Amino acid sequence: MAEESPKRRKANFNEAETEVLIEQVLKHEQLLFAAGPGRASPGQKRKVWELIRHKVNPVAACPRDVEDLKKRWRDLKRRDRSKLCRLSQGCGPPGPPALGLLLAPEEMPPAAAPPA
Note every long-range contact of 93-98, with CB atoms under 8 Å and residues 24 or more positions apart, other chains counting: 97/26, 97/29, 98/22, 98/25, 98/26
- Tell me the per-residue pLDDT of 71-83, one tens digit each, with 9 for 90 and over: 999 999 999 888 7
- Distance from CA of residue 21 to its chain's centroid? 6
Contact 90, 111 (CB under 8 A): yes
- Tell me the per-residue pLDDT of 46-70, one tens digit each, with 9 for 90 and over: 999 999 999 999 999 899 999 999 9
- Tell me the per-residue pLDDT of 12-22, one tens digit each, with 9 for 90 and over: 999 999 999 99
Contact 77, 97 (CB under 8 A): yes
What ranges do the domains of the chain cover?
A: 15-88
The per-residue pLDDT of the chain, averaged, comes to 81
The pLDDT assigned to 112 comes to 47
Say how many C-beta atoms besides its own lie within 10 A of residue 59's C-beta: 14
Interval 8-34 mean pLDDT? 92
Cα–Cα distance between 108 and 113 in angstroms, integer? 5
Closest CA to 73 of 9, 8, 13, 113: 13
